[in-house]
Structure 1
Amino acid sequence: MDIYSLHRGTAPLLVSVPHDGTAVPDDIAARLTDGARRVPDTDWHVARLYRVARELGASMLVPRHSRYVIDLNRAEDDVSLYPGQNTTGLCPVRRFTGEPVYRAGAEPTPDEVARRVDAYWRPYHRALRAELDRLRAAHGRVVLWEGHSIRGELPFLFEGRLPDLNLGTAGGTSCTPALQARLREVLARQRDYDHVVDGRFRGGYITRHYGDPANGVEAVQLEISQRTYMDEDSFEFLPGRAAGVQAVIRDLLETALG
């Protein structure tokens, strides 16, 4: 089964985009609501936004399947990333709007969730770990960059308007203070997008689990508001609009490599 694509680079940087996939197997798609079949909660076009990463020599890991099949950025035991706040799970049954993903009575059973973990989650994480180990062995250190995007206003998940750029470092624990400070400087000197560091999105499971700066693995998550590069209703990528945020991404990645 084609679970992911992995481009192996030469620089000490791995870009993971775990919510870029859109494929849903037929047996699962038949059970989704009409609205969910559009997979609206996809991190649309994020791999395209990060094409610059390959130009910088980075590795890139891109899944094929939708987060509605399984959320690769959740722990396999489905422990909440944001206790006490609305969120979605390992095999989501609610959309980001709070509406159901599945038709009534068609939600996945615990046994089905376990099968999806084996079929989709573990292969992606084995590939991620192996590529981090390869790059760290070659360079002595590696940066894991988690690329994400989300609709800029989702009342079910957060109040008000999400900033354009949301950098997450698990409260400064998933990377060194020096790297966090350099990335803050990049965001502070650009004037086109508002931003926050370790706000509502502090970093998901991958950032928190793999970030180990004491042992040469620094992890950072960037959550981008989709209004900065696409039409949020039609899901259309808008190259002219995207060019600005792609320039900031390049600056951030070059800084991470520095």
Structure 2
Amino acid sequence: MTDWLIVERGDAPLVVSIPHAGMLIPEDVHGLVSREQATHDADHHVEKLYAFARGMGATILHSRISRTVIDLNRDPSGKSLYPGQATTGLCPVTSFDGEPLYVAGAEPSAAEILRRRSCYFDPYHAALRGEIDRLRALHPAIVLYDAHSIRSHVPRLFDGELPQFNIGSFDGASCDPALTNAIAAHCASASHVVNGRFKGGWITRHYGAPMHGIHAVQMELSIRGYAAEDGAWPPPWDPVRAAPMQAMLGAILATCLDFAKDQ
């Protein structure tokens, strides 16, 4: 554990990765238009939403670093995960809405991007790989569950209102379709989609290796399911509003555990 990376170890065959809930912007990151703009697109409160997972024996990794500093779920080479579609890069220079995050001319240089990668990206992924390998040595199969959320309406990224549950398995390449189908079954009472706009980011695609017992799935939630999107921003954490969502997510993670144990 560091001041920005929290690793809570469990021994169950489940890793919950939370790379985008952070709001921390280190003092050596300069040139931002504003802190408010830089933290607007965080996966707000996702670490609270999944806090129950520690009671299930899951291992939880949570970065406190803002995704504006560096996006831990992007290809470090800079290659787009969604060619031809609007997205953000390893060190984003625009918000989801296309607004500049930096004062003109103050965008991070190639050297600064490498520094941030060394300080944050590489340690997060070294920790994640270490936990995957540790648990894989204990179990014939494990599930890597990459936890995300986003505003329900982001016209630059997708049309209309996003489904409540967006399940990504890289078009079936990162986990057994049986797991994807079982997760989707829990979402049947709400709007949901499998491998829609969000097919899984770099974490899902990079670590998912079903043939080797590592089943990786991304869950992108619409924030409206657990917090108000129509008031002050960032939305306050409301445990009463979030409780039904947590119950559904608890059933989903239990299914992930059962799947792993049955392999």
For the residues of structure 2 that align with 1:231 and 1:93, how far apart are their CA atoms? 27
CA-atom RMSD in angstroms = 1.2
Query: CA offset at residue 185 of structure 1?
Result: 1.8
**Shift of residue 67 of structure 1?**
0.4
**Residue matched to 1:223:** 220
- CA displacement 1:109-164 (0-9 Å, x = unmatched): 01110111111100000000000000010012110000000000001111111001
Q: Could you say which residue in structure 2 is the equivalent of 1:62?
A: 62
CA distance in 2, matches of 1:185, 1:52: 21
TM-score w.r.t. structure 1 length?
0.95
Alignment of 1:144-183 (within 5 A): 144-183=144-183
How many angstroms apart in 1 are the aligned matches of 2:118 and 2:177? 36
**Does structure 1 conserve the Cα–Cα contact (< 8 Å) formed by 2:141 and 2:214?**
yes
Q: What pairs up with 1:1-258 in 2 under 5 angstroms? A: 2-28=3-29, 30-34=30-34, 36-37=36-37, 39-188=39-188, 191=189, 193-232=190-229, 233-234=232-233, 235-258=235-258
Deviation at 1:218, TM superposition (A): 0.3
How many angstroms does 1:38 deviate by?
5.4
Residues 3 and 123 in structure 1, CA contact (< 8 A), matched pair in contact too? no
> What amino acid maps onto 1:62 in structure 2?
H
Q: CA–CA distance in 1 between the matches of 2:178 and 2:157?
A: 31
Deviations 1:85-122 (A, max 9, x none): 11000000000110001011110001110111111100
Alpha-carbon offset, residue 167 of structure 1: 0.7
Residue type of the alignment partner of 2:194: V
CA distance in 2, matches of 1:171, 1:236: 34
Q: Following superposition, which runs of at least 4 residues in structure 1 exceed 3 angstroms of deviation?
A: 35-38
86-95 or 33-42, which deviates more: 33-42
Q: Please state how far the C-alpha of 1:26 moved relative to its aligned partner.
A: 1.8
TM-score (norm 2): 0.93
C-alpha separation in 2, matches of 1:198 and 1:229: 22
Q: CA deviation at 1:3?
A: 3.6
Question: Secondary structure of the residue that 1:21 maps to in structure 2?
Answer: coil
Corresponding residue SS for 1:6: strand
Q: SS where residue 80 of structure 2 aligns?
A: coil
**Does structure 1 conserve the Cα–Cα contact (< 8 Å) formed by 2:184 and 2:192?**
no
Distance apart, 1:78 and its partner CA: 1.3
C-alpha displacement of 1:172: 1.1
Residue 27 of structure 1 deviates from its aligned partner by 3.0
Contact 1:36-1:101 at 8 Å conserved across structures:
no
CA distance in 2, matches of 1:6, 1:25: 20
Q: Write the distance in 1 (CA, Å) between the matches of 2:141 and 2:204.
A: 16
**Matched length:** 254
Instruction: Give yes or no for contact 1:9–1:57 (8 Å, CA) kept in 2.
Output: yes
Once the two structures are superposed, what CA deviation does each residue of 1:200-245 show, in whole Å capped at 9, x if it has no partner? 0010000011000000000010000011111224221122221111
Q: Report the Cα distance in structure 2 between the residues aligned to 1:169 and 1:86, rounded to whole angstroms.
A: 20
How far apart in 1 are the matches of 2:180 and 2:96?
29
- Structure 2 residues not aligned, in runs of 5+: 259-263
Q: Structure 1 vs Structure 2: percent identity of aligned residues?
A: 50
Q: Contact 2:21–2:63 (CA<8 Å) still a contact in 1?
A: yes
Question: Separation in 1 of the partners of 2:228 and 2:35?
Answer: 17
